Amino acid sequence: MSLLDALQRSGVLRPVDLALAQALQRIDGDIADSALAAAALASHAVAQGHAAFDPAAAGELVDASIDWPDAAEWRATLAACSMVDRPDADAASDESTPLVLEDGRVYLRRYREYERRLAAALARLCVATDGAPHADVDALHARLFPAGEGDDAQARAARRALDSTVMLVTGGPGTGKTTTIARLLVLLAAQARARGKPVPRFALAAPTGRAADRMAGGVRRVAESLRAAGIDAELCDALPTQASTLHRLLGLVPGRPQARFDRVQPLKVDVLVVDEASMVDLPLMCKLVEALPDGARLLLLGDRDQLPSVEAGDVLAALVDACDAPAAANAPLAGRRVHLDRGYRQTDDLVLEPVADAVRRGDAAAALSALRVGGGGLHYHEDALDPLAASTREALLAPWRGLRHCSEPREALALVNRARLLTALRDGPQGASQLNARIELALAGTQREPYFHGRLLMVTENSARHGLFNGDVGVCLPDVHGAPIAWFDGPDAPRAFHPGALPAHSGAFATTVHKAQGSEFDIVLLQLPAADTRVLTRELIYTGLTRARTQLHVLGPASAIEAALGRHARRISGLARRLGAA
């Protein structure tokens, strides 16, 4: 049996993966079977979040009993194949070849080009310099970051960002990334004024609308506090008050690969701040950085320990590695990162730091110990597999019952993020789909209307026509005639939609951890599956835990936590190496 036949019989490959291999075979009837299999696997790898396929790690990509070829021989066959290009590292690949072999990895040509173009665009931005800060800016820096107060890393981040056109600020939830960047923007406005230049054109952006709104709110709060502390009102007024999704910023429309803004027609911004950078996939980051004009600043905020993007690539991790690389001519990002590690997103009601730290380190024993001790808003329901069982039912349902009594959209939308049930899986008894259906039954009964009063909805595809994007959450309320209306947050006021006119959507009482990235909730119930699965990783557990603000319930067997903490969400990519990391 050929390798491609074995893959087809395994049921792992998608129809589009097989279609690519079959198309190549029609073009070249003599193409080696292992090359066809590599093409199908390169396509499959992108669907699994990788930028490329590594023949030496085929068993990690495909969970099936297959007799894999020797990796060196497989690569040699690919190197001799007419459908595979082998360009120099900085050169564009041949547009007539669908595959690229580089550093032992097999790429779909488009994704190799995304990596190459992103690395080139970052190097272009890094070339610009801004000179030494003015003395007035030094004095303002000392006021904004007083010695002995707060985290010294925040002061270092702001200082280094003044000198750098590209900067990464990393850290866990609640470590002050947004606060640091907001104060940095004040410094940049002051620096421009001291040099007799216009105030920089600032822009705030994030992968999701919820993350963008949260960042804009954080910047507004910092501006208000600085104004109250006596910082020059003109500088505080220079801070942006709104944020955009990355798709909206670039003018990307679903179904169209080209953005409104690109290298030829760049964005009209001088300083771009991107929050939740771990969620940004390779194609989107490439388009974003290419669209920045020469001399612009790019400030990326994120948490490497969170889940990588749903789509291909683990861009933030690659950029962190590149920033941490030794200084060299081929390492343009070297030294351009500051890590903040003081505090986590929590309140006095939730003491999350011990368990979050243990999970981040992969220390299962310490994580389980902290969970079992509990206290401070932390609850571990060991071996619990049903969040609607008596022990957790009230904690799960109580926050949402109040929605049934809301009539005003603003009031209801304010309650949307009171609680969320997060899952590792989409399907199955511990999956979001089944649990969401059961929650809706528990809240509204068997005779409920499809869009009952208080139902939460999540948009599952981008729709520029509606101004709604994947992950946006709304709530259903009846109008004066009793007809259901779906309300979503808007830039200035809640927006109303007839449910039948919405883009693709689903219930949102229970969602996967992936869907919850960029959001935070007062109460989180994290349901782990009964059996081990590859999607259970250290990053998934960490991301789920750190969505909680005041109360966290973890449900599931200890074995699930032990398995997850021993597994990383590894992505195959050449971006870090391309940017000078070892």
**Residue range 266-297, pLDDT digits in tens:** 999 999 999 999 999 999 999 999 999 999 99
CA 473 vs. chain centroid, Å, equals 17
Per-residue confidence (pLDDT) for residue 134, from 0 to 100? 66
171 is in an annotated binding site: yes
Give the ranges where 229-379 is alpha helix by DSSP (H): 233-237, 246-250, 282-290, 315-323, 353-361, 364-373
3-state helix, strand, coil in the chain (%, to 5): 40, 15, 40
The domains of the chain are located at 3-106, 133-344, 352-566
pLDDT beyond 80 at 116: yes
3-class secondary-structure state, position 505: strand
Lowest mean pLDDT among 33-47, 113-127, 134-148, 271-285: 134-148
Write down the mean pLDDT value for the chain.
Answer: 90
**Phi and psi torsions of 507, nearest 5°:** -65, 155
Per-residue confidence (pLDDT) for residue 148, from 0 to 100? 58
Give the ranges where 251-389 is alpha helix by DSSP (H): 282-290, 315-323, 353-361, 364-373
Across 203-212, 487-496, 558-567, the highest mean pLDDT is recorded for 558-567
177 is in an annotated binding site: yes
The pLDDT > 90 percentage for the chain reads 60
CA 289 vs. chain centroid, Å, equals 16
Tokens in use for 220? 């507004």
pLDDT beyond 60 at 150: no
- Cβ 285 vs Cβ 216: under 8 Å: no
Could you tell me the pLDDT band of residue 145, with boundaries at 50, 70 and 90? confident
347 versus 242: the higher-pLDDT residue is: 242
Which of 3.30.300.20, 3.40.1580.10, 3.50.50.60, 3.40.50.300 is the CATH number of 133-344? 3.40.50.300
**Residue range 159-189, pLDDT digits in tens:** 888 888 999 999 887 778 888 899 899 999 9
- On the question of a common fold for 133-344 and 352-566, the answer reads yes
Could you tell me the pLDDT band of residue 137, with boundaries at 50, 70 and 90? confident
**Residue range 485-502, pLDDT digits in tens:** 999 987 778 999 999 999
Residue 162 neighbours by CB under 8 Å, 6+ apart: 130, 133, 137, 141, 184, 187, 188, 191
Could you tell me the pLDDT band of residue 344, with boundaries at 50, 70 and 90? very low
**Phi and psi torsions of 211, nearest 5°:** -65, -35
**Phi and psi torsions of 119, nearest 5°:** -60, -40
Strand partners, 382: 556
Lowest mean pLDDT among 27-36, 40-49, 126-135, 242-251: 126-135
Per-residue confidence (pLDDT) for residue 572, from 0 to 100? 94
Tokens in use for 389? 């069982």
Give the ranges where 474-582 is alpha helix by DSSP (H): 513-516, 538-545, 558-565, 575-578
174 is in an annotated binding site: yes
CATH class of 3-106: mainly alpha
3-class secondary-structure state, position 347: coil
Could you tell me the pLDDT band of residue 130, with boundaries at 50, 70 and 90? low
Closest to 523 measured CA to CA, from 432, 439, 423, 418: 418
- Token pair 């933030």 is at which residue? 316
Pairs from 29-32 (Cβ < 8 Å, separation ≥ 24): 31/81, 31/82, 31/83, 32/77, 32/81
CATH number of 352-566: 3.40.50.300
344 versus 346: the higher-pLDDT residue is: 346
DSSP label at residue 498 = -
Per-residue confidence (pLDDT) for residue 339, from 0 to 100? 87
